[in-house]
């Protein structure tokens, strides 16, 4: 990735460049790399969230089947309670039947027992149907769980890759910071202060080329005396419009280091 970032931020190679400016360009190059790396790092939590979002649908499928199973199981429990109630009623009726002396009552109770028995048979049939339904759902749950596990593996892999990228970026950032500190230590403190202010205020472009009398930062023409100062390369010259530090842009300085 070093090569890629380098290509994004070429350091002009100008053999006649004012040494302070040349050093500043190295500092700026490292700073620009750091900013770029920080941007990539800042995007990682969002990327991670996107990756994890891929699990949502599969998790929802699993949850939906589980909910269906739960609902059917509750329905089965209710049926069992209904069956139990009817069985209790039958037991009570049988006792009453045994105690009664009237034939009419005996037969009426017998009829009631028969009704309960046929109701129980019906409820048991319903229960059987629901149990088959649960079996079907269990199969669906198995499939849904497998799909979720598969997605989880893919997500784990993607997250692991992302962590590696993050670690590499952090290492690269630390390396660039080290190089920046080294380069900055060789530049006059006041000049570094000016540079730092410009780098922040001018969106990462504190030191820019002067191309055909035009500041490459603000794209405004500078005065003839500024052009002369930049060309002489005896002192650090600034664009009088935007304040950026200027260097003489030549064909040689257009090459990428």
Residue position matching structure tokens 């200027």 = 246
Q: Which of 130, 239, 247, 248 binds Zn ion (CB under 5 A)?
A: 239
Question: For residues 102-121, which are near Zn ion according to CB under 5 A?
Answer: none
Q: Which of 33, 217, 245, 248 binds Zn ion (CB under 5 A)?
A: 217
Smallest distance, Å, CB 26 to Zn ion?
21
Could you give the C-alpha distances from 7 to 1, 32, 257, in angstroms and in order? 10, 12, 9
Q: Which is nearer to Zn ion, 136 or 204 (CB)?
A: 204
Q: Which is nearer to Zn ion, 141 or 239 (CB)?
A: 239
Q: Which is nearer to Zn ion, 113 or 210 (CB)?
A: 210
Smallest distance, Å, CB 224 to Zn ion?
15
Smallest distance, Å, CB 180 to Zn ion?
23
- Does 211 sit near Zn ion (CB under 5 A)? no
Give the binding range for Zn ion (CB under 5 A) out of 104-112, 123-131, 166-174, 235-243.
Answer: 235-243
Residue ranges of E strands in the chain: 207-211, 214-215, 237-238, 245-248
Compute the residue count for the chain.
257
- Of 138, 135, 131, 96, the closest CA to residue 113 belongs to 96
Q: Which is nearer to Zn ion, 169 or 222 (CB)?
A: 222
Helix, strand, coil % in the chain, rounded to nearest 5: 75, 5, 20
- Of 75, 44, 45, 38, the closest CA to residue 176 belongs to 38
Smallest distance, Å, CB 228 to Zn ion?
16
Question: Token pair for residue 162?
Answer: 């992302």
- Does 215 sit near Zn ion (CB under 5 A)? yes
Judge whether 197 and 243 are in contact, CB under 8 Å: no
- Does 214 sit near Zn ion (CB under 5 A)? no
- Does 209 sit near Zn ion (CB under 5 A)? no
Q: What is the DSSP string of 112-156?
A: HHHHHHHHHHHHHHHHHHHHHHHHHHHHHHHHHHHHHHHHHHHHH
Smallest distance, Å, CB 237 to Zn ion?
11
Please report, in angstroms and rounded to a whole number, the separation of the first and last CA atoms in the chain.
Answer: 16
- Does 17 sit near Zn ion (CB under 5 A)? no
Give the binding range for Zn ion (CB under 5 A) out of 4-12, 29-37, 134-142, 234-242.
Answer: 234-242
Q: What phi, psi does 246 have (nearest 5°)?
A: -110, 150
- Does 242 sit near Zn ion (CB under 5 A)? yes
Smallest distance, Å, CB 218 to Zn ion?
3
The binding site for Zn ion (CB under 5 A) comprises: 215, 217-218, 239, 241-242, 244
């Amino acid at each position: 990735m070093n090569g890629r970032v380098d290509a994004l931020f070429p350091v002009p190679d100008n053999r006649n460049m004012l040494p302070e400016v040349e050093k500043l360009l190295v500092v700026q190059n490292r700073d620009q790399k750091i900013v770029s790396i920080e941007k990539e790092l800042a995007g990682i939590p969002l990327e991670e969230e996107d990756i994890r979002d891929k699990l949502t649908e599969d998790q929802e499928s699993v949850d939906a089947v589980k909910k269906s199973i739960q609902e059917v199981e509750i329905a089965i429990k209710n049926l069992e309670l209904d069956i139990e109630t009817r069985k209790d009623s039958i037991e009570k009726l049988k006792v009453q039947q045994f105690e009664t002396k009237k034939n009419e009552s005996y037969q009426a109770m017998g009829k009631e027992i028969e009704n309960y028995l046929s109701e129980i048979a019906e409820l048991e049939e319903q229960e059987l149907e629901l149990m088959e339904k649960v079996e079907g759902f269990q199969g669906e749950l198995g499939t849904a769980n497998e799909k979720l596990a598969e997605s989880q593996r893919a997500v784990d892999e993607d997250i692991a890759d992302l962590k590696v990228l993050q670690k590499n970026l952090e290492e690269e950032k630390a390396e660039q910071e080290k190089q920046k500190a080294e380069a900055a230590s060789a530049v006059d403190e006041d000049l570094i202060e000016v540079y730092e202010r410009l780098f922040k205020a001018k969106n990462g472009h504190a030191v820019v080329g002067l191309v055909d009398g035009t500041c490459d930062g603000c794209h405004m023409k500078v005065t003839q005396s500024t052009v002369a100062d930049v060309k002489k390369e005896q002192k650090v010259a600034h664009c009088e419009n935007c304040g950026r530090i200027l260097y003489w842009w030549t064909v040689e300085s257009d090459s990428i280091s």
